[in-house]
């Protein structure tokens, strides 16, 4: 790695995470987090100073081992997430547990392990949340609950870490044209209309704006909605 600042992006193998990695590659060395090693290697091969960081985020022991060698970290972007769209009567305990484990608990544990490295750099934590973290709609119960919890976590982290100079940004995109969203739309039984969705590049631009803001500016919450086309 070079002397540039370092960013770790989870969920970097595809979707918003991959595009965020591309947007930060011009200014940051990158750790590309995810489970799909082949996809991470393919992405790292075309980005300067990037390397795969494969880990199972829901495995605390694996997280501890993977973070042990990170002593300074400028940016941590949480992009990994899962979504199941079901009425509450069909939302089983396993669906609830997966939503909370991936979307909240793994975020909290990874951030906890990296706090010393983030404090050393007076770094920045960016959490890709969702419009569902602001408004809950039918059939989105487990996902919305996890994203409301993620927003609360970000607010507490921001308040507690302000004395260490840590910045914390929640990004709330509307529906975005990703593989996950295509799957969600199929589950809902509707046609997929990409022109009504945000592009991942637009969400990545919000992340880049927050991360590269001047020292006197702290973007605490960014809401991005699809524009009418």
CATH architecture observed for domain 6-224: 3-Layer(aba) Sandwich (3.40)
Helix axes of 15-24 and 200-211: crossing angle, nearest 10 degrees: 40
Domain boundaries, the chain: 6-224
The string over 29-65, giving b where at least 16 C-beta atoms fall within 10 Å of a residue's C-beta and e elsewhere, is bbbbbbeeeebbeebbeebeebebbbbebeeeeebee
Task: Give this prediction's pTM.
Answer: 0.92
Model pLDDT for residues 160-173, shown as the tens digit of each residue: 999 999 999 999 99
pLDDT above 90 for 209: yes
Token readout for 196 is 């009504």
Q: Which residue among 143, 153, 192, 197 is the active-site one?
A: 143
Q: Is 143 noted as a catalytic residue in this protein?
A: yes
Model pLDDT for residues 32-91, shown as the tens digit of each residue: 999 999 999 999 999 989 999 999 999 999 999 999 999 999 999 999 999 999 999 999
């Amino acid at each position: 790695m070079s002397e540039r600042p370092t960013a770790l992006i989870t969920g970097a193998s595809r979707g918003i995470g991959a595009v965020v990695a591309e947007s930060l590659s011009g200014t940051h060395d990158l750790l590309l987090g995810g489970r799909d090693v082949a996809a991470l290697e393919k992405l790292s091969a075309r980005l300067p100073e990037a390397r795969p960081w494969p880990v199972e985020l829901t495995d605390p022991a694996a997280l501890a081992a993977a973070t042990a060698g990170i002593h300074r970290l400028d940016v941590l972007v949480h992009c990994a997430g899962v979504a199941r769209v079901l009425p509450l009567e069909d939302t089983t305990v396993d669906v609830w547990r997966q939503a909370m484990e991936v979307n909240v608990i793994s975020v909290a544990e990874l951030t906890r392990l990296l706090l010393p490295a983030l404090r050393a750099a007076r770094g920045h934590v960016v959490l890709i949340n969702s419009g569902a973290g602001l408004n809950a709609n039918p059939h989105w119960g487990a996902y919305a609950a996890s994203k409301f919890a993620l927003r609360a976590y970000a607010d507490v982290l921001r308040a507690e870490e302000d004395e260490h100079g840590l910045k914390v940004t929640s990004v709330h995109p509307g529906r975005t044209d990703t593989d996950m969203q295509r799957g969600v739309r199929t589950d809902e039984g509707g046609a997929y209309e990409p022109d009504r969705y945000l592009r991942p590049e637009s969400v990545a631009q919000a992340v880049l704006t927050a991360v590269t803001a001047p020292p006197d500016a702290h973007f605490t919450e960014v809401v991005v909605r699809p524009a009418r086309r």
